[in-house]
């Protein structure tokens, strides 16, 4: 049994689905079901006894301690977080509560459980913290990609809260000996991505005939990784990572935002041409820049490749095509997340913890 937090969100749900598709080991999945948590993401697991879903907050120490005692997981994988940079700029409070205070409380619950384990189980236990490349700050155009030794220089409330959580995880290892692993990944994309983030927002806005807003000059660079490749990296680190180490995860796919948006438009032009025969690129509009917008992120993932033999399976070209196709084939998922109707569905499917 493993315990996953935030497993109804974009990456967490992809991870749970992949885990149970390739593995008999059950998963207990605790998620608060904020606006970003969606049990439709896990609908294919309905009736599968290997998946136990509990609606709850990682900051609820009593709930976490009870779940750990009851399910006795051999590992905890922490995805739960507030994840959207723009939201963190407009309202940082939830980011501090979940990403900092929530991670602290989760660490304390896990420490209490781990301390009481018999020696053999204690030895094998792992706490894997899922983090981001944004903790390293912004790279100059000609600077080498972020290695694990790069200084922490977070610039947004989101990245500062994630940096704080990484430091807590590190401290719980050094001070208490908790067997932790941390992964710092670049921008993910793929199925189940909430349409507030760049790629899914561009797909759903394009299809709805709405503007495609590019912040500032659109020359900010992000390093894109297909979500399933992030999931395979996490599994690899969980099984073979060295305790207390951090591993950068990325696919060597640096692209400026305008190129991403034009690629999405070109794929839609091919797969779902506009009725008027014009390109979706005509819907692009340049808007005011994000405050404090980091100019460039890029991940050096050689440590993960060297030590654990991990490599991404998708190229950006194959991954972005699959992604656009997935959104075209799942209009009901898009309608659900946009209408908020899935919240009503949640109440009929699962009881609160």
Q: Is 218 in the site for ligand NAD (CB under 6 A)?
A: no
Question: If contact means CB under 5 to 8 A according to the sort of partner, which of ligand DAU, ligand NAD, none does residue 103 touch?
Answer: none
Residues in 262-291 that interact with ligand NAD by CB under 6 A: none
Following DSSP, what letter does each residue of 178-199 receive, concatenated?
Answer: --EEEEEE-EEESTT--TTSHH
Helix-helix angle 103-115:61-71, to 10 degrees = 40
Q: x/- binding map, residues 297-316, to ligand DAU, per CB under 6 A? A: x-------------------
10 is an interface residue for ligand NAD by CB under 6 A: yes
- Tell me the C-alpha to C-alpha distance, in Å, between residue 328 and each of 152, 196, 213, 353: 39, 17, 20, 35
Contact range with ligand DAU by CB under 6 A, out of 54-62, 82-90, 120-128, 318-326: 82-90
The number of angstroms, rounded, from the C-alpha of 147 to the middle of its chain's C-alpha atoms is 20
Site residue total, ligand DAU (CB under 6 A): 19
Residue 215 engages ligand DAU in binding (rule: CB under 6 A):
yes
User: For residues 26 and 250, which CB has a smaller minimum distance to ligand DAU in the complex?
Assistant: 250
User: Candidates 111-119, 195-203, 274-282, 338-346 — which segment interacts with ligand DAU by CB under 6 A?
Assistant: 195-203
Whole-angstrom Cα distance, residue 99 to residue 134? 14
The stretch among 132-140, 147-155, 232-240, 267-275 that binds ligand DAU (CB under 6 A) is 132-140
Q: Which residue has the tokens 């067997």?
A: 179
Q: Choose, by CB under 6 A, the member of 32, 51, 126, 235 that binds ligand NAD.
A: 32
Kindly state the tokens that stand for 90. Answer: 């407009």
85 sits near ligand DAU (criterion: CB under 6 A): yes
Q: Do residues 222 and 297 lie in contact, with contact meaning Cβ atoms separated by under 8 Å?
A: yes
Place of tokens 């709405």: 210
Locate 204 and state its tokens: 């759903």
The SS3 assignment for 330 reads coil
Q: State yes or no: residue 232 binds ligand NAD (CB under 6 A).
A: no
- Asked if residue 247 lies in contact with residue 184, where contact means CB atoms within 8 angstroms, the answer is yes
Question: Active-site residue numbers?
Answer: 133-134, 158
Using the rule CB under 6 A, is 9 a contact of ligand NAD? yes
Question: Distance (Å, rounded) from C-alpha 163 to C-alpha 154?
Answer: 7
Residue 201 binds to ligand DAU (criterion: CB under 6 A)? yes
Q: Residue 33 binds what, of ligand DAU, ligand NAD, none (CB under 5 to 8 Å, by partner type)?
A: ligand NAD
26 binds ligand NAD (CB under 6 A): no
59 near ligand NAD, judged by CB under 6 A: yes
264 binds ligand DAU (CB under 6 A): no
In the chain, the largest separation of any two C-alpha atoms, in whole Å, equals 68
Query: Contact between 220 and ligand DAU (CB under 6 A)?
Result: yes
H or E element in which residue 20 lies: helix 10-22
> Of 181-210, which residues contact ligand NAD (CB under 6 A)?
185, 187-188, 194
Q: Rule CB under 6 A: say whether 57 interacts with ligand NAD.
A: yes
Contact partners, residue 137, CB within 8 Å, separation at least 6: 151, 152, 153, 154, 155, 159, 294
> Considering CB under 6 A, how many residues would be counted as binding ligand NAD?
31
Compute the 3-state secondary structure of the chain and give helix, strand, coil in percent, each to the nearest 5: 50, 15, 35
H/E segment holding residue 238: helix 227-240
Question: Which spans of this chain sit near ligand NAD (rule: CB under 6 A)?
Answer: 5-6, 8-12, 31-34, 36-37, 57-59, 79-83, 98, 102, 130-132, 162, 185, 187-188, 194
Question: Which spans of this chain sit near ligand DAU (rule: CB under 6 A)?
Answer: 83-85, 132-134, 186-187, 197-198, 201, 213-215, 220, 222, 257, 290, 297
């Amino acid at each position: 049994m493993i315990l996953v937090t935030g497993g109804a969100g974009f990456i967490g749900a992809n991870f749970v689905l992949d885990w149970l598709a390739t593995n008999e080991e059950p998963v207990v999945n605790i998620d608060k079901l904020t606006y970003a948590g969606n049990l439709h993401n896990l609908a294919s697991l309905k009736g599968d006894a290997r998946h136990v879903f509990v609606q709850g907050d990682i900051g609820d120490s009593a709930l976490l301690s009870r779940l750990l005692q009851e399910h006795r997981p051999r590992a905890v994988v922490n995805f739960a977080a507030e994840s959207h940079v723009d939201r963190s700029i407009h309202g940082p409070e939830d980011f501090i509560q979940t990403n900092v205070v929530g991670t602290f409380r989760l660490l304390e619950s896990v420490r209490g459980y781990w301390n009481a384990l018999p020696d053999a189980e204690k030895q094998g236990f792992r706490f894997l913290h899922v983090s981001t490349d944004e903790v390293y700050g912004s790279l100059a155009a000609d600077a080498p990609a972020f290695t694990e030794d790069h200084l922490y220089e977070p610039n947004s409330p989101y990245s500062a809260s994630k940096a704080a959580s990484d430091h807590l995880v590190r401290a719980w290892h050094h001070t208490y000996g908790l067997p932790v692993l941390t992964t710092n990944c670049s921008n993910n994309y793929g199925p189940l991505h909430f349409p507030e983030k760049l790629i899914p927002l561009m797909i759903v806005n394009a299809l709805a005939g709405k503007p495609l807003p590019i912040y500032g000059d659109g020359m900010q660079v992000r390093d894109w990784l297909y979500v399933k490749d992030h999931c395979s990296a996490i599994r690899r680190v969980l099984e073979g990572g060295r305790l207390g180490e951090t591993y950068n995860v990325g696919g060597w796919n640096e692209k400026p935002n305008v190129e991403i948006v034009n690629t999405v438009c070109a794929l839609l032009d091919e797969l779902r041409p506009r009725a008027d025969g014009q390109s979706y690129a005509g819907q692009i509009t340049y808007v005011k820049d994000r405050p404090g917008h980091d100019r460039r992120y890029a991940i050096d993932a050689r440590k993960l490749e060297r030590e654990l033999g991990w490599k991404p399976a998708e190229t950006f070209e194959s991954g972005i095509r699959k992604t656009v196709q997935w959104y075209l084939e799942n209009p009901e998922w898009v309608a659900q997340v946009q209408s908020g109707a899935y919240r009503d569905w949640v109440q009929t499917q699962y009881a609160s913890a």
